[in-house]
Amino acid sequence: MRVAFLMAPEGVEEIELTEPWKAVRDAGWNPQLVSTEPGRVQAYRHLDRAGTHPVDRVLSSHTAESFDALVLPGGVANPDALRTNGPAVDFVREFFASAKPVAAICHAPWTLIEADAVRGRKLTSWPSLATDLRNAGGTWVDEPVHVCRARPATLVTSRKPDDLPAFCAALVQEFGG
């Protein structure tokens, strides 16, 4: 299984990339870092620079066809940049249109809102997104992880780095199921 991890060139919360990446790799799947620009993605630990991570693939038309599932790591700046990038929003939209599973943590549901992928769904996020998600037609819940199996695609969401063990377990379960 090939799993896309979509990120902007900078601003991803590092642990929200590295822990799900490890879970995907430990499941025997192939994680791929997809970004809007070539090179390396600059990760952060809150507001401090952390490591950089090499981009495996740059977004282009039909990129989603190459993957079986999508992970959207958070951080504040990462999804904020992605939601204003047309190809990134289209990429996310393609996963839902193709009924491929998606997982998003922390602030990543901002990108889901822009892709019109939360309407009629129940999901969780960093608490400050609750109103945004409700305004976009979703139902926000305060849970460590929530799995929404509404058609067309399964959506796994989580609130914050402290919830990563539950998030990683749920995404492996849902992606593999």
**SS3 assignment, position 126:** coil
Q: Which residues contact 131 (CB under 8 A, 6 or more apart)?
A: none
- Cα–Cα dist 176/151, whole Å: 17
Active-site positions read 106-107
Q: Do 50 and 17 touch, CB atoms closer than 8 A?
A: no
Among 87, 136, 127, 134, CA closest to 107: 127
Task: Classify residue 177 by its DSSP letter.
Answer: -
Q: Do 54 and 33 touch, CB atoms closer than 8 A?
A: yes
- Cα–Cα dist 144/92, whole Å: 23
> What sign for the dihedral angle of Cα 104, 109, 111, 112?
positive
- Cα–Cα dist 108/126, whole Å: 9
Report the DSSP beta bridge partners of residue 156: 103, 147
